[in-house]
Amino acid sequence: MKVAVITGAARGIGRATALRLAKEGCAVVLGDILSEQVKETAKLVEEHGGKALALSVDVRDENQVKVMFERAVSEFGGVDILVNNAGVVWRSHIIDTSSEDFDFVVGVNLKGAFLCIKHAAPIMRERGGGVIVNISSLHAFSTLPNLAVYAASKAGLVGLTRAAALDLGAWNIRVVAICPAAVDTPMLRDKPTEEENLAAVNRWRKASPIGLLLEPEDVANLVAWLVSDEARGLTGIAIVLDAGVSADLQVRKIPV
């Protein structure tokens, strides 16, 4: 039985990934700062016959990350898969973004992934290898106004993916990144009113040439393939999953 550690597992992409990997037979260790919601994810996994361990984890805190991986070993024997999904979005003009804002966003989106890789890799080495999937963003390559820190953190995650793939390849650990466009998650639907949420959803759907707004399951399905042996030749790359949004030069007209 393979063991997967998934951060940001309380909802959205993280929850969908937990359910998908559990369906593939993985035991899942679920970390999130939203402690009650991550327990709900674990309950859903167990209701579908899977094995799950829910933990309250702030990925910015190295000790909490270390404990998460220690629990993965003690409960399930090791770690084979890591999905760095924990993330936050931050919307503000670059000159209105404080140092504290910067530290928070980079701490969750980039430092958190670094810490998880640091503590997962030695455990994977003992198991003969593993796969690490970093959930970056289309904003790593093509972004919008008022997302400077978010875009920087996600671009950094792509760089981290490439460097980690080089460092860990000798241990038979593959490292890949997925860069989705907007996904229909609570993070997308965080506007003050339902009308604004619906408008945001419709804008992204119209930006896709196939009229598709990604669902969390679309990302989870790609994760499941990337961690399988069918994708054994993929490491050190970033895969754009955007329903064709970035093919349109008019995409910048989508308001934040």
Rg, the chain, Cα only: 17
Q: Give me the torsion for CA of 198, 179, 251, 147, rounded to 10°.
A: 80
Which has the closest alpha carbon to 246: 205, 203, 211, 208?
208
Interatomic CA distance for residues 206 and 210, integer angstroms? 8
Active site residue 219: no
| Residue in 150, 208, 219, 245 annotated catalytic | 150
At residue 76, φ and ψ (nearest 5 deg) are -125, -5
- In order of 7, 43, 44, the CA distances from 10 in angstroms are 8, 11, 11
How far is Cα 36 from Cα 119, in angstroms, rounded to an integer? 25
What amino acid occupies position 102?
F
Catalytic residues: 150
